[in-house]
Structure 1
Amino acid sequence: MQGICLAILLAVAGLAQAGTGAQEAGAEVGICYGYGCAHEGVARYGAADLANLAGRLDKARSAAEERALLGEAVGRLYRLAGRQLPVGADRGGNYLDGGVEGRMDCIDHSTSTTRLLKLLESRGALRFHRVLEPERRTRFIFQHFSAVIEELTPAERIERLPPGSALARCNCTEDGVIVEGPDGAEPPSPGERYAVDSWFVDNGEPAVVLPLAEWLNGGGPNVQ
Structure 2
Amino acid sequence: MTRRTIILFAGLISIMAGGPVTEAVAAPARTIDICHGYGCAFRSRLDLGLGDDRKLASIMAAGRATPEAERKAIARAVSYFEKRAQQVTGVRDQPRSEFGASKIRGQMDCVDESTNTDALLRYLARRGLLRHHKVEARDSRGFLLDGRYPHWTAVIRAPDGVKWVVDSWYAPMGGAPDIIRLNDWKQRGVLDSGALN
- The TM-score range, normalised by the shorter chain, is 0.7 to 0.9
What are the equivalent positions in structure 2 for 1:86-125 lying under 5 Å apart? 86=90, 88-95=91-98, 98=101, 100-125=104-129
> Aligned to 1:89, what secondary structure does the other structure show?
coil
| 8 A Cα contact 1:32 1:41, kept in partner | yes
In the alignment, structure 1 residue 208 sits paired with structure 2 residue 152 = no
With structure 2 as the length reference, what TM-score do the two structures score?
0.76
How far apart, in 2, do the equivalents of 1:97 and 1:199 lie? 16
* Post-superposition CA distance 1:163-194 (Å, at most 9, x none): xxxxxxxxxxxxxxxxxxxxxxxxxxx10100
Counterpart in 2 of 1:148?
Answer: 155
Counterpart in 2 of 1:193?
Answer: 163
How far apart, in 2, do the equivalents of 1:127 and 1:109 lie? 23
Counterpart code for 1:69: A
Identity, % of aligned positions: 29
Counterpart in 2 of 1:174?
Answer: none
Considering Cα pairs closer than 8 Å and 6+ residues apart, tell me whether 1 or 2 has the greater RCO: 1
> Aligned to 1:109, what secondary structure does the other structure show?
helix
1:56 to 56, 59, 64: 59
> Aligned to 2:85, what secondary structure does the other structure show?
helix
* Post-superposition CA distance 1:118-177 (Å, at most 9, x none): 00110001000010110010142520000000012xxxxxxxxxxxxxxxxxxxxxxxxx
With structure 1 as the length reference, what TM-score do the two structures score?
0.68
| 8 A Cα contact 1:90 1:97, kept in partner | no
How far apart, in 2, do the equivalents of 1:26 and 1:55 lie? 18
Q: Structure 1 or 2: larger helix share?
A: 2
How far apart, in 1, do the equivalents of 2:153 and 2:89 lie? 21
Counterpart in 1 of 2:42?
Answer: 39
How far apart, in 2, do the equivalents of 1:73 and 1:112 lie? 12
| 8 A Cα contact 1:89 1:101, kept in partner | no
How far apart, in 1, do the equivalents of 2:100 and 2:68 lie? 32
Aligned residues: 165
How far apart, in 2, do the equivalents of 1:128 and 1:212 lie? 17
> Aligned to 2:180, what secondary structure does the other structure show?
strand
| 8 A Cα contact 1:147 1:197, kept in partner | yes
In the alignment, structure 1 residue 76 sits paired with structure 2 residue 46 = no
Q: Mark the structure with the bigger radius of gyration.
A: 2
How many angstroms does 1:55 deviate by? 2.1
Distance 1:116 1:145, change over 3 A: same
Structure 2 segments unaligned to the other structure (5+ residues): 5-26
Counterpart code for 1:194: W
Counterpart in 1 of 2:3?
Answer: 22
Counterpart in 1 of 2:140?
Answer: 136
How far apart, in 1, do the equivalents of 2:152 and 2:168 lie? 10
How far apart, in 1, do the equivalents of 2:40 and 2:55 lie? 29
How far apart, in 2, do the equivalents of 1:39 and 1:98 lie? 13
